[in-house]
Amino acid sequence: MELATRLRDYCICVVLLGTLLRQQAESLGVGINYGQIANNLPSPSRVAVLLRSLDVRKVKLYDADPNVLRAFAGTNVEFVVGIGNENVARMTNPSLALNWVQLNVHPYLPATLISCITVGNEVFSGNDTTLMANLVPAMQNIHSALTTLGLSDQVMVTTAHSLTVLSNSYPPSSGAFRQDLVGYIQPLLNFHAQTQSPFLINAYPYFAYKGSPDQVSLDYVLFQPNQGTVDPVSNLRYDNMLYAQIDAVYTALAAIGRPDLLVRISETGWPSKGDPDEAGATPENAEIYNGNLLKRIEMKQGTPLKPNIPLDTYVFALFNEDLKPGPTSERNYGLFHPDGTPVYNIGLNGVLPGYISSYGRKCQTSWILGILSFLLTLIM
């Protein structure tokens, strides 16, 4: 009876500890971008183990990689999958759109949770007017395909934008869309309103600091203590640039007649390394930015303009990607190196098969000591 009681008590402690850790991780509500422009990344099955150890429950892909979607079956990780800009024109054909959903979404449900499809990425940031004109018809056809397959209630359709869609973002109360884009954006916003899908924005305060390091306060962009700024029109006070950027988007939406749309942050992050002319790209700043961002998310804090709407954010990115073109910073946004070691520590330490992080070693040691202690009680 004594042995049974000890076993019961030990199991209860294990269950309570596991529940506490899960609740703490789930409270963050943060997602992560899983890019794969690299030749040295771990297999999707190993990434699935890593993200499960981190208890990250939301992942955004830039495609619909079948290897990834199969690897995450049964994990309860919620996915955003993407259709690249190069395929947007094809999706203006209803039959091809239906075929895409049948091949890339339908077979993986419900084992793998797919909640959203992004059609294109930052389409309005370029000069391809044909691509811009094709965007909404493509989104409509993907939505229609989901409806045909009975999936429209569980999978939404949207697209992501950079802040270059705004003609003005400061102060936030003056946020407005570029006039040359209004003809493309208005039908898009109508689609969002009809389907109740969010407006996604890729917001990077780092770019503002990089462009004017002598004029932009580093503390302001890193969520560090600072004097902040006060919007002269709304009188709202901002203690960080990200919130100001998001509220500028909300203002732009209201100005065009869509104050009811929800804004989500589909990308934000900070590089840990850059070229000599890329000011602020250091591991220390990346750790501060992402660490402070996670604290704000954990607080379920909204922006000054929308204080009751907690941030819904996807951090960029899971891994450093060695094949990305452009400046050095583009290859160094990852929270992890491809071998699973953290680039810096923001409290999201996990275990990749074949590698045990410092947190993993502590947990492993704790579990081993616990098991040994339990076994010791059996023979005493």
Catalytic center residues: 122, 267
Given a contact cutoff of 8 angstroms between Cβ atoms, the answer to whether 166 and 249 are in contact is yes
Given a contact cutoff of 8 angstroms between Cβ atoms, the answer to whether 229 and 237 are in contact is yes
Given a contact cutoff of 8 angstroms between Cβ atoms, the answer to whether 241 and 220 are in contact is yes
Given a contact cutoff of 8 angstroms between Cβ atoms, the answer to whether 80 and 72 are in contact is no
Q: For residue 269, how many C-alpha atoms fall within 13 Å in the half-sphere facing its CB?
A: 27
Residue count of the chain, please give it. 380
Kindly provide the residue ranges of all beta strands, DSSP E only, lying in 62-147, ordered along the sequence. 78-83, 113-121
Given a contact cutoff of 8 angstroms between Cβ atoms, the answer to whether 135 and 83 are in contact is no
CA angle 142, 143, 145 (to 5 degrees): 65
Q: Which residues pair with 263 in a beta bridge?
A: 199
What does the block give as tokens for 214?
Answer: 């002598």
Helix (H) or strand (E) holding 367: helix 358-379
What does the block give as tokens for 19?
Answer: 């529940």
**Cα distance between residue 108 and residue 345, in whole Å:** 33
